[in-house]
Amino acid sequence: MFKAFKLPNGACVIIAPRKDTQAVTVMVFVKVGSRYENVPLNGASHFLEHLMFKGTKRRPDTLTLSKELDSIGAEFNAFTSKDHTAYYIKASKQHIDLALDMLSDMLINSKFDSKELDRERGVIIEEINMYEDNPMTLVEDVFERQLYGDTPLGRNIAGTKQGIAAMSRKAMLQYKDAYYVGANTTIIVSGSVPKNIKPLIKKYFRKLPKKQLGKSFAKQTSFAKPGVVLRQKATEQVHLTIGMPTFGYLDKRNDALALLSIILGGTMSSRLFIEIRERRGLCYYIRASVNPYEQVGHLTIQAGIDKHRIDKAIPAITAELVKIVRTGITAEELYRAKEYVKGKFVLSLEDSENVAGWLGKQALFQRKVKTDAERMADIEKITRRAVEQVARQVLKPNAYRLAIVGPYTDHKRFARLLRG
């Protein structure tokens, strides 16, 4: 169970106490990510996330921040996505004051020192290099660029090396001031929560700015044309993504779509894993996943393929997609997929950090923040018919997109393979 309230500055607060833990997580979500950026500011959300750890007026540098948290054995980090940024500290319950103080200090009082900012440019450029050198993650960016085109959703969260090198401090701070405001912030406290948590939160977060929120992102309801995109790289293993458009966060079909993805490639007993890896030995890994945003989303099948057998692998994967549309799923598959989701969900509730993340994303993107019991009930009521209907709506061959990172340049070859 949880309780929710708002601060006078508009910040949403959710308190989720758990009796069976000695840990507490404070997580702060800001509803801004790379989707809110224009081209010159591409990467600004992620850049700001880095800079929040570079020192405040009371804690002047990274070493001071990290030593204070390390001294209590805390776990702390942050992450930026296309539609939100989050910061968290997980610590022993007696250190809740420090967690609240530290996060609020970083979000409200960070210095954004010019020298630190310029030094961090190099760090982020190396981070971009790291992802470009990792074909397993690179193929995800290549696919989203292909699906969403030259739009904020199609661009890299970290930006480009040229853009990061050129981005001005003034532009970044103007961007930060537009979105890091009370009305755009959600604060979650989960785990062993003290009785005086409400006045503590008011004490530390009351100074979040109360002012008008910056403009929202441009809505995206269309997709780039289907096709094949190749990123030539001298790899021994080929990394590919086959995907197609799906639904936005609020679409009621997402639960059925999630079960479909599990049946297809969510487990080591899923159809794709058994057929493509175990029976045919064509890949090392293969998985399916659902990725919703506001208004739009996508389903992907991602795999690491033997480069000498890719001509067999792609038709074998698409054949499984055609098969599940034509023949549907079994009652046993539906039951196992539901039990898998419920089991993973129950395990995630053992960790205050996972609980905070789950509640925070609901608060940002759903009409209602649901309890764990309500979530279980939603999963249980999904029918075979609903899953099969979603399969027919989504798994259409003329909607397939294919992205490959590997030693290839022949687009026509892979277009033929994708068509089967």
DSSP 88-145: EEEEEGGGHHHHHHHHHHHHHHB---HHHHHHHHHHHHHHHHHHHT-HHHHHHHHHHH
- CA gap 109, 208 in Å, rounded: 10
Identify the burial level of 248 via C-beta atoms within 10 angstroms of its C-beta, where 0-12 means exposed, 13-18 middle and 19 or more buried: middle
Place of tokens 């500055």: 9
- CA gap 54, 56 in Å, rounded: 7
Contact predicate 61/179, CB 8 Å: no
* Opening angle at CA 366, ends 346 and 101, nearest 5: 75
In sequence order, the 6+-apart residues with CB closer than 8 A to the CB of 162 are: none
- CA gap 145, 143 in Å, rounded: 5
> Active-site residue numbers?
49
In sequence order, the 6+-apart residues with CB closer than 8 A to the CB of 77 are: 87, 88
- CA gap 321, 93 in Å, rounded: 48
> Could you tell me if residue 149 is left (phi over 0), alpha (psi between -120 and 50 degrees) or otherwise beta?
left
